[in-house]
Amino acid sequence: DAGVIQSPRHEVTEMGQEVTLRCKPISGHNSLFWYRQTMMRGLELLIYFNNNVPIDDSGMPEDRFSAKMPNASFSTLKIQPSEPRDSAVYFCASSPGQGDEKLFFGSGTQLSVL
């Protein structure tokens, strides 16, 4: 199994630009999570999908952030417009679901907004 695949690994963009992060979960996993990690705030949950449906998006900072999961094998996290304070490592993780929430993380996307 290839594990959770995220792209891009690194993204450098200018303030105001749109940023799209991509994630392919492990096949057969029913739950998908987007987390953001910074030194100041640690690992923060942004949004949680179960069976492709957003269940909890209370961690999404504001309307500039949006996430979709059009099918079981693909999810995107979009920031529009991006701001310097969005600079962080963004992780996607999947789990088998049905109460078994052992998370498998992707390699992360290092986002730098200048």
Partner 1 sequence: QKEVEQNSGPLSVPEGAIASLNCTYSDRGSQSFFWYRQYSGKSPELIMFIYSNGDKEDGRFTAQLNKASQYVSLLIRDSQPSDSATYLCAVQLSGGSYIPTFGRGTSLIVHP
Q: Which of 9, 43, 84, 85 binds partner 1 (CB under 8 A)?
A: 43
* DSSP for residue 104: E
Contact criterion met (CB below 8 Å) for 89 and 110 = yes
Number of H helices, E strands in the chain: 0, 11
- Shortest Å, Cβ 16 to partner 1: 28
Exposed/middle/buried for 7, CB within 10 Å: 0-12, 13-18, 19+?
Answer: middle
Contact criterion met (CB below 8 Å) for 3 and 103 = no
How far is the C-alpha of 92 from the C-alpha of 107, rounded, in Å?
A: 8
Would you give the binding string for partner 1 spanning residues 52-81, x where CB under 8 A is met? Answer: ----x-------------------------
Would you give the binding string for partner 1 spanning residues 12-41, x where CB under 8 A is met? Answer: -------------------x-x-x------
Is 108 one of the binding residues for partner 1 (CB under 8 A)?
yes
Closer residue to partner 1, CB minimum distance, 31 or 75? 31
Which residues lie near partner 1 (CB under 8 A)?
Answer: 31, 33, 35, 42-43, 45, 48, 50, 56, 91, 97, 99, 101-108
